Structure 1
Amino acid sequence: FIRYIDEHKKEYVDTLREAVAIKSVSSWPDSRSECVKMMEWMEKKMKALGASTELADIGMEKLHDGREIPLPPILVGSLGNDRSKKTVLIYGHLDVQPALVEDGWDTEPFTLVEKDNKLFGRGSTDDKGPVLCWLHALQAYKAIGEEIPVNIKFVFEGMEENGSEGLDEFLWSRKESFLSDIDYVCISDNYWLGTTKPCITYGLRGLAYFNLEVSCAKSDLHSGTFGGTVHEAMSDLIFLLNSLVDVNGRILIDGIYDQVDKITDAELKSYQDIEFDVDDEPGAKTVIPRKVIGKFSLRIVPSMTPDEVTTKVKAHLEKIWATRGSPNVMNIHMGHGGKPWTENPDHPHYVAARTATKYVYGVDPDLSREGGSIPVTLTFQEVTGKNVLLLPVGCGDDGAHSQNEKLNIRNYIEGTKLLGSYLYEVSRV
């Protein structure tokens, strides 16, 4: 198994090159067809393994301008149906963040570039590369004539970078059917803490993402004619945003920290062994915009909830707005949110993942909570009632969501070995 993966490194890199070339940016309406193309591309790969697949229609997305466009389908399916085996559900996403050369990329973001044993390209580490690690691990088992040690079910989506719209409802609708016989859930959509030591993640922060609008006119105004006579929305927006945090970054919203759980002594002690490494189109216009929009997010921790945070954010901004005395109109709403998630890192599922990690990398992995948010993690936990594990492939310096996103070739190949070894160890639990 290990030797086969090493021998097919070039093939795996070429497959990632194909995937990166598909511009599946879920937040670009004009790229929606590319998102669909990406899901269809992956379906063909899974079918070639012998998997049964479904591209599930989850309806339409309503855009801010009132238009409606189809949501990318969710790719679900199964590989193996042996009742004597465990069943593992794997999740990943095939959409990516926006990327343009003019954003500061050194190379074309949708052309995979290999340099210094690193693979640069949008989606290389988030999350096309890790999804392909699953694919390659399954391919390797098939190619060497070995049975896949567990039954596989998979859920791959195309809207994760844009709020995973429609996914929660879809998963709940399949609770008593497709998801009824799951034993474990594994997700590879996060990163090591540093660059040399692998980790396993048992906690994530939640998210509350807000849109703050201030309107001052029915249409844009000429700044030469109206400048100085109109109460500009931009000034109000800056005033409101400036009220959210102090100079040290502490949030100034009343009661925002009330629901934050205290860290336990055991968890604080565990941090001593963790390895840390230190590491909308622009333009110029001489107009007074009729409306300006500020976007900000709060990462939330146990036991905070998006609804509670929204209530407090609205109360804070309405209070501050009242002191402004502006004739303009302010509106605040939460675009999307997700609760924080934690899991038991001593569960046998986690023990199996630790064993697999040590087998591949020769070291015990760090156990970490991560600052990012993957809302579907909690949904899987609630829908299946089973243990959920995050098993990252990429490094902490991969630059997901940033310019020059990359995946080290070593992480890509060893990550494939890791996910395949994990499936073997889980079969023995």
Structure 2
Amino acid sequence: MAVPVHLSKIFKCVDDNQQQFINVLREAVAIKSVIAPLKMYPEILRMINWTKTKLESLGATCYINETGTRSCRGTGGGSAPLQTLTGQFGHDPKKKTLCIYGHFDCQPASKRDGWNTEPFELVKKRGKLYGRGSASNKGPIIGWINAIDAFQKVGQEIPVNIKFILEGYEENGPNDDRQILKDECLDNPNNAYFRAGLRAYQLLYGMEPDLTREDGDIPVSITFQPVIERYSYSPKQTRLVGFENVMLLPMGPHEDGAHWENEMIDLRNFIQGTKLFAAFINEIASNEIPTDKAEKIKDGFIRKYIRGVHMHFRDLYV
């Protein structure tokens, strides 16, 4: 499958700006966005605002949404206000909209836990990037941000609207994002574009991917499912396919050790994953994708934890 010229330019841009894109992840890893104990909550706020600034620097319209309070597990307990960040690129009603969910909080980490490096300092060693959050979930979020940056660097219009929904409380249990999901993403649910993901993978790697789940699940499904099911039928009674249709669009394998000491992401996977996200953005805008069924797609490292970024689609209507 021949790679389109404009996509080849984006791939080359990712390669040429590899160090810059790694440095963006380095900045994110340095923020100790651990929700418990409560004394770490300012770092969650710092992470929210850092991400907001990063998205806005690329042209996104961002909002911080208050969604209640949450009791904090761990030493000291207490509760913290829940905030969810939404960021929107594009509002063209003629374009499809890609909605990306992710979380920028992470598990506590310390060298005394068995880390070989400082957990909140991104360290490149033997072709791998070590640091807390590099695999779950800052790495994939930064991959999407870098993919958007690459589109802009080569002067290529992003062919879809993109909306981020990012939270800082996933590691402390699921946030109540149901209202935000309903308001922001599910007012007219549309197709899951599995073929777009297959084509994106083929464009980058020259082969078809294995369609597997690696026997995993994702706790956030408990939050998404009732909202998705509530909007399972359009006025024409078009069915929204449920969680049995799960597609993997991974940035790295389960060996990355999310939530464990010495968490890391392979450097090659971080760079190639960024290209894959860019290719996917390109492919979901293709006119070859049918729009006569309503389905849902999720993306990420679907193991026993949230590992990647989960997505679904809708068309915008005025």
- Under a length normalisation based on structure 1, what TM-score does the superposition of the two structures give? 0.58
The answer to whether structure 1 residue 38 and structure 2 residue 47 are counterparts is yes
In angstroms, what is the RMSD of aligned CA positions? 2.1
User: Which of 92, 105, 115 pairs up with 1:105?
Assistant: 115
Question: How many residues align structurally?
Answer: 263
8 Å CA contact 1:90–1:153 kept in 2: the answer is yes
Secondary structure of 1:11's match? Answer: helix
Q: 1:63 to 1:85 in 2, by over 3 A?
A: closer
Residue correspondence of structure 1 range 324-343 to structure 2 within 5 A: none
Q: 1:151 to 1:181 in 2, by over 3 A?
A: farther
Is 1:374–2:232 an aligned residue pair?
no
CA positional deviation for 1:403: 1.0
Greater share of strand residues, 1 or 2? 1
Matched, 1:7 2:16: yes
| Letter in structure 2 aligned against 1:420 | A
Is residue 124–residue 406 contact of structure 1 (8 Å, CA) maintained in 2?
A: yes
Matches within 5 A, 1:182-193: 182-183=189-190
Task: Name the residue aligned to 1:175.
Answer: 182
Change (3 A) 1:173 1:90: closer
**CA-to-aligned-CA distance 1:246-268 (integer Å, 9 cap, x gap):** xxxxxxxxxxxxxxxxxxxxxxx
How far has the Cα of 1:70 moved from its partner? 2.1
CA distance in 1, matches of 2:11, 2:132: 28
| Aligned counterparts of 1:420 and 1:48: Cα–Cα separation in 2 | 18
For the Cα contact (< 8 Å) 2:71–2:77, is it kept in 1?
yes
Consecutive unaligned residues in structure 2, runs of 5 or more? 1-9, 233-239, 290-318
Which residue pairs with 1:23 in the alignment?
32
For residues 85 and 146 of structure 2, what CA distance do their matches in structure 1 show? 17
Matched, 1:401 2:245: no
- Paired letter, 1:352: A
Structure 1: where are the runs of 5+ without partners? 185-346
Does the 8 Å CA contact 1:36/1:72 hold for their aligned counterparts? no
Aligned to 2:148: 138
Q: CA deviation at 1:379?
A: 4.0
Q: Which is greater in Rg?
A: 1
Change (3 A) 1:405 1:177: closer
Whether 2:104 is the aligned partner of 1:94: answer yes
Q: Quote how far apart the aligned CAs of 1:366 are.
A: 1.2
Corresponding position: 1:383 with 2:227: yes
**1:20-419 counterparts in 2 under 5 A?**
20-63=29-72, 68-167=78-177, 171-172=178-179, 175-176=182-183, 179-183=186-190, 349-377=193-221, 379-380=223-224, 382-384=226-228, 385=232, 389-419=247-277
8 Å CA contact 2:34–2:107 kept in 1: the answer is yes
Task: Give the superposition deviation at 1:381.
Answer: 5.2
Query: Residue 32 of structure 1: CA displacement?
Result: 1.1
* Alignment CA distance shift 1:37-1:179 (3 Å): farther
2:117–2:123 contact (8 Å) kept in structure 1? yes
CA contact (8 A) 2:211 2:248 kept: no
CA shift in 2, pair 1:117/1:63, >3 Å: closer
User: Shift of residue 183 of structure 1?
Assistant: 3.6
Q: Secondary structure of the residue that 2:132 maps to in structure 1?
A: coil
| Percent sequence identity over aligned pairs | 42
The answer to whether the 8 Å contact 1:72/1:159 transfers is yes
Q: Post-superposition shift, 1:380? A: 3.7
Secondary structure of 2:62's aligned partner: strand
Provide closer, same or farther for how the CA distance between residues 355 and 377 of structure 1 changes in structure 2, counting only shifts above 3 A: farther
SS in 1 for 2:254: coil
The TM-score normalised by the length of structure 2 is 0.77
Deviations 1:58-81 (A, max 9, x none): 222235799643234111121111
Partners of 2:267 and 2:31 in 1: CA distance: 20
Contact 1:79 1:153 in 2 (8 A): yes
Residue of structure 1 equivalent to 2:310: none
How far apart, in 1, do the equivalents of 2:188 and 2:61 lie? 16
Deviation at 1:180, TM superposition (A): 1.8
